[in-house]
Amino acid sequence: MAHASLRRNDNRIIIHFDYDCFYAAVFEAEDPALKSLPLAVQQKQIIVTCNYAARRRGLYKLQLITEAKKACPDAIIVLGEDLTRFRNASKSLYNFLRSHTWSDRAEKLGFDEVWMDVTDIVEYNLALLNQNSLRDSFFQVSREDPTQGFSYDALTVAGQSWSAGLGTRLQAQELALNDLDALEKDLHLRLTLGSHFALFLRQRLYDNLGYTSTVGIATSKLVSKLVGNVNKPNNQTTMLPPYIATECYPSNINAFLDTHDIGAVPWIGFKLAQKIREYVLQRPAAFQTGLVYGGSREKVMVGDVRNVPDITSSSLEKLLAGPGAPHGIGTKVFGLLHGIDDTEVSQARNAPRQISIEDSYVRLDNLAQILEQLHSLTLRLLQRMRIDLLEASDADEPALTSLNEASTKQWLAKPEILRLTTRPRLPLNPDGTRSRTFKRISRSMQLPNFVFNLAESEQDLTSRLVAETLLPLFKKLHPEKSGWNLSLVNVAVTGMVDTASNAKNAEGRNIASMFKKQDDFFADFKVTDEVSNKPRENVTEQTEGVNESDGLEKSLASVPDIESDVSQWENDSDGDQNLRDVRCSECGQLMPHFAFVAHERYHALEPWRFKAEERSPDDVDVKDSV
């Protein structure tokens, strides 16, 4: 009873993806020739990331440019201050992964991390297993089309695994597996299926988009994220059972977590870590001053904390609670230290909750400058709104452009609030020094509706928005007539409300499904025999090619040496398929395959049009185009 809320739920299978040196990988995907060269991405005066060729030559993250040039004069250093290309690549990768979930539980963290809850897919495939031939299993990635998927060995975990015994006493561990109780054995099997699915997704991510990734497989967001780090880059690690300690075995989860610094535990950030360290050390935790970045801290391990007898949920609550701290923080942190994290992988969203643009300044202290900056930030904000809140651009789908000549794009969501944030520089102290502050202050207003008018130019809208709302907000924020000194300005839209068309979209077919590859689309449509004299089996040829897990692992292992295969995105569909007509299962329309992507998107965009009595003249265009 004591820990009813602290018993771990290990029923889920969760995969955490982390794309390898993402910024550098984006440049490599654009120009595959860079893959074999030392490549670093620069923002301001530092290397924000670099590829492994560069790391072998002595470069590292957050290194000063001057140092980097000294260490490796012939490194290629590219400027990465404009985030557009990273944002676009991130969206493509995310939509691709999302299209491979059934529950649509796919959560993004920053540009380069994604969690997927694949419990339903694993359970489904568990039921398909033939206990007599586990070595020759087939993993179905689509419920609709049983031929889509890959064959695999359900007796072997794909990729690397983590277990307290591995590496030192492999044999003993194998024996231990047989001694696990039924629940842990079942968990072992579900994790095994998860590991094969993860390998399949990594392979597709590389084949279709040209990105390698580092992946963790476990039963929570916490452990999947942490365990992935054990083998990187371009690899995957599964946290093996036993998850629950018995008299005979320690829990692998606890053994794993205990060796981590508390600050390395996700969601135990700087503040919480410092408070916990102070409690355990019985004195303020010392900083290492003088470090450029981050790790100024004394090490206190999770195991050290767990073994302090008076560390309980309630003692942690007392220690960590305070104004602003989340309620139940003690229970939450106690759980994290014990590898318990029941937070769900959140449902994919078609629109962000907030968009903000900010810039920092060495000196920003007169109205003319401030107005100029407000204008520039606001313009960028309105541009971002049209990119991120409008239905998918057709630039990558020429077929659809012919369907909607004019801008018939709809808002996926509309923000209702406009917020202006600044970071004032503190006035001089009496002794002439200036203490630094990173405190921000903000004011907000209702966002006027005119910003959604697509007929008006972004420039015109910007001028009006600055005059009518941002300037009043600025005066509200800084009522004094002059003497401002701002080190940062941020303009944001928030209070996002999904529009009706998006809500409809979300409950039916989602945006991600439009992103599927052509061969994926064949799952949704029946190949019509009257126009296709090819045997139906041909449809799945390409998926059967990426089957045997050993082969997958080998090809992934050799990634750094082989050419990027982004072109496969366009080219890997079976040539014969290009000649085959297909029928839409939704409206019965017969058409060549190449019309499908547009056709499918057409359904998703305007589902109501297909009620016969509501057909608009636009439908004629659909027929004409096929």
Q: Which of 158, 157, 136, 139 is nearest to 149 (CA)?
A: 139
Q: Is 181 left (phi over 0), alpha (psi -120 to 50) or beta?
A: beta
| b (16+ CB within 10 A) / e for 313-329 | beebbebbeeeeeeeeb
Based on the shown chain and the rule CB under 7 A, indicate whether residue 266 belongs to the binding site for DNA.
yes
Asked if 358 is part of the footprint of DNA (rule: CB under 7 A), the reply reads yes
Q: Which long-range contacts (CB under 8 A, 24 or more apart) does 513-518 make?
A: 513/99, 513/600, 513/604, 514/392, 514/597, 514/600, 514/601, 514/604, 515/92, 515/95, 515/96, 515/98, 515/99, 516/99, 517/208, 517/569, 517/572, 517/573, 518/573, 518/577, 518/593, 518/596, 518/597
Should residue 424 be labelled a site residue for DNA when binding is judged by CB under 7 A?
A: no
- Rounded CA-CA distance 129/150 in Å is 13
Q: Is 495 in the site for DNA (CB under 7 A)?
A: yes
**Window 89 to 118, contacts with DNA (CB under 7 A):** 109-113
The window from 193-201, 417-425, 508-516, 614-622 that contacts DNA (CB under 7 A) reads 417-425
Could you say whether residue 383 binds DNA (CB under 7 A)?
no
Scanning 358-366, 397-405, 545-553, 569-577 for contacts with DNA by CB under 7 A, the matching segment is 358-366
CB 115 within 8 A of CB 221: yes
Restricted to residues 283-322, the positions that interact with DNA (CB under 7 A) are 287, 292-296
Q: Please say which residue, 354 or 453, places its beta carbon nearer to DNA.
A: 354
Residues in Cβ contact with 254 at an 8 Å cutoff, skipping those fewer than 6 apart: 245, 306, 338, 339
**Positions in 53-72 near DNA (CB under 7 A):** 62
Q: Are 443 and 422 in contact (CB under 8 A)?
A: no
- Pick from 58, 233, 250, 352: which binds DNA (CB under 7 A)? 352
479 interacts with DNA by CB under 7 A = no
The reply on whether position 488 binds DNA by CB under 7 A is yes
Query: CB of 442: closest distance to DNA in angstroms?
Result: 4
Which one of residues 270, 450, 594, 608 is an interface residue with DNA (CB under 7 A)? 270
Query: Is residue 547 a contact residue for DNA (CB under 7 A)?
Result: no
Query: Considering the complex, what minimum distance in angstroms separates the CB of residue 277 from DNA?
Result: 12
Three-class secondary structure of residue 263 per DSSP: helix
- In whole angstroms, how close is the CB of 242 to DNA at the nearest point? 27
C-alpha 422: how far from its chain's center? 29
- Of 359, 372, 460, 614, the residue at the interface with DNA (CB under 7 A) is 359
Element (H, E) at 96: helix 84-98
The sheet carrying 590-592 orders its strands as 526-527, 581-583, 590-592
Of 174-182, 348-356, 396-404, 543-551, the window that binds DNA (rule: CB under 7 A) is 348-356
In the complex, minimum distance from the CB of residue 89 to DNA, in angstroms, rounded to a whole number: 13
The least distance separating DNA from the CB of residue 521, rounded to whole angstroms, comes to 28
Tell me if residue 442 falls in helix, strand or coil: strand
44 binds DNA (CB under 7 A): yes
Shortest Cβ 544–DNA spacing (Å): 35
CA–CA gap between residue 15 and residue 196 (Å, rounded)? 11
By the rule CB under 7 A, 346 interacts with DNA: yes
Q: Which one of 3-11, 118-126, 133-141, 326-334 is the stretch in contact with DNA (CB under 7 A)?
A: 326-334
Q: Residue count at the site for DNA (CB under 7 A)? A: 59
**Contacting positions for DNA (CB under 7 A):** 44, 62, 83, 109-113, 265-273, 287, 292-296, 323-328, 346, 349, 352-360, 384, 417, 419, 421, 436, 438-446, 476, 488, 490, 492, 495
